[in-house]
Copies of this chain bind each other. A is one copy, B any other.
Amino acid sequence: MRKGAETRERILEIAEASVLAKGFGATSIEEVIAEAGITKSGFFYHFKDKNELARALMLRYVEENDRIFDDVFHRGRQLSDDPLQSFLITLKLLAELMGDLPNGHPGCLIATFTYQERLFDRNVRDIAADAVRSWNGRFRDALNEIATVYPARKGMDLDDVAIMFSCVIDGGIIMSRGLGDPRVLGRQILAFRSVVKMLFAPAAPDIMLPPAPTAIAAE
Protein backbone atom coordinates (compact mmCIF):
# COMPACT_ATOMS: atom_id res chain seq x y z
CA MET A 1 0.00 0.00 0.00
CA ARG A 2 0.94 3.56 -0.54
CA LYS A 3 0.24 5.31 2.71
CA GLY A 4 2.39 2.94 4.71
CA ALA A 5 5.46 3.81 2.69
CA GLU A 6 4.79 7.50 3.19
CA THR A 7 4.56 7.21 6.95
CA ARG A 8 7.64 5.04 7.03
CA GLU A 9 9.50 7.62 4.99
CA ARG A 10 8.36 10.39 7.32
CA ILE A 11 9.60 8.44 10.32
CA LEU A 12 12.96 7.93 8.66
CA GLU A 13 13.25 11.60 7.75
CA ILE A 14 12.55 12.75 11.30
CA ALA A 15 14.71 10.06 12.85
CA GLU A 16 17.65 10.89 10.59
CA ALA A 17 17.54 14.54 11.53
CA SER A 18 17.44 13.63 15.20
CA VAL A 19 20.26 11.11 14.88
CA LEU A 20 22.45 13.66 13.13
CA ALA A 21 21.73 16.25 15.83
CA LYS A 22 21.83 14.12 18.97
CA GLY A 23 23.17 10.74 18.08
CA PHE A 24 21.33 7.48 17.77
CA GLY A 25 21.39 6.60 21.44
CA ALA A 26 19.89 9.91 22.42
CA THR A 27 17.23 9.78 19.72
CA SER A 28 14.04 8.86 21.51
CA ILE A 29 11.32 7.02 19.72
CA GLU A 30 8.77 9.02 21.67
CA GLU A 31 10.07 12.26 20.21
CA VAL A 32 10.06 10.83 16.73
CA ILE A 33 6.47 9.61 16.92
CA ALA A 34 5.36 12.87 18.49
CA GLU A 35 6.81 14.81 15.56
CA ALA A 36 5.45 12.33 13.05
CA GLY A 37 2.00 12.45 14.58
CA ILE A 38 1.66 8.73 15.14
CA THR A 39 1.53 6.46 18.15
CA LYS A 40 4.12 4.12 19.49
CA SER A 41 2.22 1.16 18.12
CA GLY A 42 2.37 2.76 14.73
CA PHE A 43 6.11 3.05 14.96
CA PHE A 44 6.61 -0.57 15.94
CA TYR A 45 4.37 -1.60 13.11
CA HIS A 46 7.00 -0.30 10.70
CA PHE A 47 10.14 -1.19 12.65
CA LYS A 48 10.23 -4.11 15.00
CA ASP A 49 12.87 -2.47 17.19
CA LYS A 50 15.31 0.40 17.25
CA ASN A 51 18.02 -1.56 15.52
CA GLU A 52 15.82 -2.05 12.51
CA LEU A 53 15.29 1.67 12.42
CA ALA A 54 19.07 2.05 12.34
CA ARG A 55 19.31 -0.44 9.52
CA ALA A 56 16.63 1.31 7.50
CA LEU A 57 18.25 4.69 8.10
CA MET A 58 21.60 3.38 6.90
CA LEU A 59 20.17 1.71 3.81
CA ARG A 60 18.27 4.84 2.90
CA TYR A 61 21.33 7.01 3.39
CA VAL A 62 23.56 4.75 1.33
CA GLU A 63 21.06 4.59 -1.51
CA GLU A 64 20.63 8.33 -1.63
CA ASN A 65 24.34 8.94 -1.70
CA ASP A 66 24.77 6.34 -4.39
CA ARG A 67 22.28 8.27 -6.46
CA ILE A 68 24.09 11.54 -5.84
CA PHE A 69 27.44 10.09 -6.84
CA ASP A 70 25.90 8.41 -9.88
CA ASP A 71 24.51 11.71 -10.97
CA VAL A 72 27.54 13.83 -10.34
CA PHE A 73 30.00 11.41 -11.94
CA HIS A 74 27.69 11.04 -14.91
CA ARG A 75 27.47 14.77 -15.42
CA GLY A 76 31.22 15.04 -15.10
CA ARG A 77 31.72 12.52 -17.89
CA GLN A 78 29.11 14.25 -19.99
CA LEU A 79 30.85 17.59 -19.81
CA SER A 80 34.31 16.41 -20.81
CA ASP A 81 35.98 13.48 -22.50
CA ASP A 82 39.18 14.03 -20.63
CA PRO A 83 39.19 11.94 -17.43
CA LEU A 84 41.02 14.59 -15.44
CA GLN A 85 38.71 17.36 -16.54
CA SER A 86 35.58 15.34 -15.94
CA PHE A 87 36.73 14.40 -12.44
CA LEU A 88 37.52 18.04 -11.72
CA ILE A 89 34.03 18.95 -12.90
CA THR A 90 32.57 16.24 -10.70
CA LEU A 91 34.44 17.63 -7.73
CA LYS A 92 33.23 21.12 -8.44
CA LEU A 93 29.66 19.91 -8.70
CA LEU A 94 30.05 18.14 -5.38
CA ALA A 95 31.51 21.24 -3.79
CA GLU A 96 28.50 23.22 -4.94
CA LEU A 97 26.06 20.53 -3.92
CA MET A 98 27.48 20.06 -0.44
CA GLY A 99 28.83 23.49 0.24
CA ASP A 100 25.92 25.69 -0.70
CA LEU A 101 23.36 24.24 1.63
CA PRO A 102 21.94 27.14 3.62
CA ASN A 103 22.06 25.42 6.98
CA GLY A 104 25.16 23.45 6.18
CA HIS A 105 25.39 19.79 5.34
CA PRO A 106 23.01 17.83 7.55
CA GLY A 107 25.76 15.36 8.41
CA CYS A 108 27.09 11.98 7.40
CA LEU A 109 25.13 9.14 8.91
CA ILE A 110 28.06 6.81 8.52
CA ALA A 111 30.27 9.11 10.56
CA THR A 112 27.77 9.17 13.42
CA PHE A 113 27.31 5.44 13.28
CA THR A 114 31.02 4.68 13.40
CA TYR A 115 31.18 6.75 16.55
CA GLN A 116 28.39 4.67 18.04
CA GLU A 117 29.37 1.29 16.72
CA ARG A 118 28.56 -0.55 19.92
CA LEU A 119 24.91 0.31 19.41
CA PHE A 120 24.51 -1.56 16.14
CA ASP A 121 24.85 -5.14 15.05
CA ARG A 122 27.30 -6.34 12.47
CA ASN A 123 24.73 -6.15 9.70
CA VAL A 124 24.37 -2.38 9.98
CA ARG A 125 28.11 -1.87 10.29
CA ASP A 126 28.71 -4.00 7.22
CA ILE A 127 26.28 -1.96 5.16
CA ALA A 128 28.18 1.16 6.11
CA ALA A 129 31.61 -0.36 5.50
CA ASP A 130 30.59 -1.73 2.11
CA ALA A 131 29.19 1.63 1.09
CA VAL A 132 32.38 3.43 2.07
CA ARG A 133 34.46 0.88 0.22
CA SER A 134 32.32 1.29 -2.87
CA TRP A 135 32.58 5.08 -2.82
CA ASN A 136 36.31 4.95 -2.27
CA GLY A 137 36.46 2.53 -5.17
CA ARG A 138 34.71 5.05 -7.39
CA PHE A 139 37.19 7.76 -6.55
CA ARG A 140 40.10 5.38 -7.02
CA ASP A 141 38.80 4.26 -10.41
CA ALA A 142 38.48 7.86 -11.51
CA LEU A 143 42.03 8.57 -10.39
CA ASN A 144 43.39 5.46 -12.07
CA GLU A 145 41.69 6.45 -15.29
CA ILE A 146 43.29 9.85 -15.09
CA ALA A 147 46.65 8.25 -14.43
CA THR A 148 46.46 6.41 -17.73
CA VAL A 149 46.51 9.77 -19.49
CA TYR A 150 48.44 12.00 -17.14
CA PRO A 151 51.43 10.69 -15.24
CA ALA A 152 50.79 11.06 -11.54
CA ARG A 153 53.42 12.47 -9.30
CA LYS A 154 55.38 9.96 -7.37
CA GLY A 155 55.09 9.73 -3.64
CA MET A 156 51.34 9.47 -3.42
CA ASP A 157 49.44 6.24 -3.56
CA LEU A 158 46.24 6.74 -5.56
CA ASP A 159 44.32 4.47 -3.21
CA ASP A 160 45.25 6.79 -0.37
CA VAL A 161 44.25 9.83 -2.42
CA ALA A 162 40.87 8.25 -3.06
CA ILE A 163 40.34 7.56 0.63
CA MET A 164 41.55 11.05 1.39
CA PHE A 165 38.58 12.44 -0.46
CA SER A 166 36.22 10.57 1.83
CA CYS A 167 38.23 11.87 4.77
CA VAL A 168 37.98 15.42 3.49
CA ILE A 169 34.22 15.15 3.12
CA ASP A 170 33.60 13.63 6.52
CA GLY A 171 36.18 15.85 8.16
CA GLY A 172 34.81 18.86 6.31
CA ILE A 173 31.34 18.18 7.63
CA ILE A 174 32.68 17.98 11.17
CA MET A 175 34.69 21.18 10.74
CA SER A 176 31.74 23.02 9.23
CA ARG A 177 29.58 22.06 12.16
CA GLY A 178 32.17 22.48 14.86
CA LEU A 179 33.28 25.87 13.63
CA GLY A 180 29.73 26.93 12.80
CA ASP A 181 30.71 27.86 9.26
CA PRO A 182 28.82 25.96 6.53
CA ARG A 183 31.19 27.15 3.82
CA VAL A 184 34.10 25.11 5.13
CA LEU A 185 32.90 21.88 3.53
CA GLY A 186 32.66 23.35 0.05
CA ARG A 187 36.05 24.99 0.41
CA GLN A 188 37.58 21.73 1.53
CA ILE A 189 36.22 19.85 -1.44
CA LEU A 190 37.66 22.53 -3.70
CA ALA A 191 40.95 22.30 -1.83
CA PHE A 192 41.01 18.59 -2.51
CA ARG A 193 40.25 19.41 -6.13
CA SER A 194 43.38 21.54 -6.19
CA VAL A 195 45.31 18.62 -4.80
CA VAL A 196 44.12 16.47 -7.68
CA LYS A 197 45.17 19.18 -10.11
CA MET A 198 48.59 19.39 -8.52
CA LEU A 199 48.90 15.65 -8.56
CA PHE A 200 48.33 15.28 -12.28
CA ALA A 201 49.27 18.63 -13.77
CA PRO A 202 52.65 19.55 -12.39
CA ALA A 203 53.12 23.29 -12.15
CA ALA A 204 56.42 23.21 -13.87
CA PRO A 205 57.81 26.32 -15.52
CA ASP A 206 55.53 26.96 -18.48
CA ILE A 207 58.30 27.10 -20.99
CA MET A 208 60.81 24.35 -20.67
CA LEU A 209 58.92 21.41 -19.32
CA PRO A 210 60.97 18.35 -18.80
CA PRO A 211 59.96 15.21 -20.63
CA ALA A 212 61.22 13.07 -17.82
CA PRO A 213 58.95 12.56 -14.85
CA THR A 214 59.18 14.16 -11.49
CA ALA A 215 61.76 15.50 -9.17
CA ILE A 216 64.07 14.70 -6.37
CA ALA A 217 63.58 17.96 -4.60
CA ALA A 218 61.82 16.97 -1.46
CA GLU A 219 62.82 13.38 -1.19
Contact = CB atoms under 8 A, between A and B. Distances in A.
Interface of A: 20-27, 84, 88, 107, 110-112, 114-119, 125, 128-129, 132-133, 153-157, 160-161, 163-164, 166-172, 174-175, 177-180, 184, 187-188, 190-192, 194-195, 197-206, 208-210, 212, 214-219
Contact of A167 (B153, B157, B167, B198): B167
A155 to B, nearest CB: 5
Interface centre among A114, A119, A199 (most CB of B within 10 A): A114
Stoichiometry, as copies per complex, reads 2
B191 A157 contact: yes
A104 to B, nearest CB: 11
A209 B217 contact: yes
Given A153-B203, A197-B155, A210-B205, A116 B22 contact: yes
